[in-house]
Amino acid sequence: MMFNDGAAEPQNIFRDNSWWLRVCLFIMFLFATLLRLDEIRAPGHLLDREYTSAIFARAYYFRNNEKVEPWRREIAVTAKNQQPILEPPLLEYLVSLIYRLMGREEIFFARYLTIAFWILGGIFMYLIAKQLLSIDHAVVASAYISLSLWVSSSAGASSPIH
């Protein structure tokens, strides 16, 4: 069953794989990335979730890290154990790997990851709408998810729900 047979209707603005479409999508996703990077150090909207995530990421980063003093490691584990487990802390573990890669702990490193996830999400939104409706609809849908104000400010947060 084809949802969208791919035949371009005359009133469509974009045509599949056209130069104009590629340029628009590139500019849109670039702008969405820059919008988020601009506020990468700003406090998020879900501070409690970000706090919990940061505590988990720190504990994973300190674990088996010879450069960290044992007392700091112990406090990090104690703080982690006091946090509720809401979902499997996969994002926090990935963030701890970034900390290791960068050699230091900065909360905003996590946001690079969530920004990348949101941009990839925008690409999949485009693919879904293109498959179900048309390229024009797909551009609007991915623009909404990438550029709308609430989504872009919320997407800067570094908690797993993003």
138 binds another protein (CB under 8 A): no
Nearest residue to 113 (alpha-carbon basis) of 54, 62, 73: 54
Nearest residue to 91 (alpha-carbon basis) of 115, 68, 72, 73: 115
42 binds another protein (CB under 8 A): no
User: CA 29 to CA 116: how far, in whole Å?
Assistant: 10
Q: Which of 6, 47, 127, 148 binds another protein (CB under 8 A)?
A: 127
User: CA 102 to CA 141: how far, in whole Å?
Assistant: 35
97 binds another protein (CB under 8 A): no
Nearer to another protein, 1 or 10 (CB): 1
- Contact partners, residue 90, CB within 8 Å, separation at least 6: 160
Nearer to another protein, 42 or 85 (CB): 85
Q: Which of 31, 51, 112, 117 binds another protein (CB under 8 A)?
A: 117
Nearer to another protein, 1 or 101 (CB): 1
Cβ(52)–Cβ(84) below 8 Å:
yes
85 binds another protein (CB under 8 A): yes
The residues that touch another protein, with contacts defined as CB under 8 A, are: 1-3, 84-88, 90-91, 117-118, 120-121, 124-125, 127-128, 131-132, 145, 155, 160-162
